[in-house]
């Protein structure tokens, strides 16, 4: 992709998943919104453990892995389907 086309992509409003993909491609742990853009349970467990050191990171990892997967499954189940595509 040319430099100007790459800049155009970074500066435009992209719908839905494309906007999400753009946001996660620039993750920075110093960003105040981190780990919100991440689907990685390790990121969430690390951030949670920093806020609540009494909760072991491996316990938080197990919880966040399940919670993130549950959210993904719920979205996959309720998302509109193309005609003729079964669940």
Kindly state the tokens that stand for 50: 């920093």
pLDDT tens-digit map of 27-77: 677 777 777 777 888 988 999 999 999 999 999 999 999 998 888 778 777
Which position has the token pair 């050191």? 53
- 43 and 83: one domain? yes
- 54 and 86: one domain? yes
Question: Cβ(47)–Cβ(64) under 8 Å?
Answer: no
Burial of 64 (0-12, 13-18, 19+ CB in 10 A): buried
pLDDT at 5 over 60: no
pLDDT tens-digit map of 11-27: 555 455 666 666 666 66
Residue 11: domain span: 1-31
The structural domain count of the chain equals 2
């Amino acid at each position: 992709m040319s430099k100007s086309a790459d800049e155009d992509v970074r500066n435009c409003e992209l719908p839905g998943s494309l906007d999400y993909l753009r946001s996660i491609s620039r993750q920075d742990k110093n960003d105040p919104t981190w780990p919100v853009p991440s689907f990685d349970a390790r990121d969430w467990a690390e951030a949670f453990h920093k806020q609540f050191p009494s909760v072991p990171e491996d316990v938080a990892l197990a919880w966040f892995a399940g919670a993130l997967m549950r959210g993904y499954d719920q979205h996959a189940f309720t998302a509109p389907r193309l005609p003729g595509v079964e669940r």
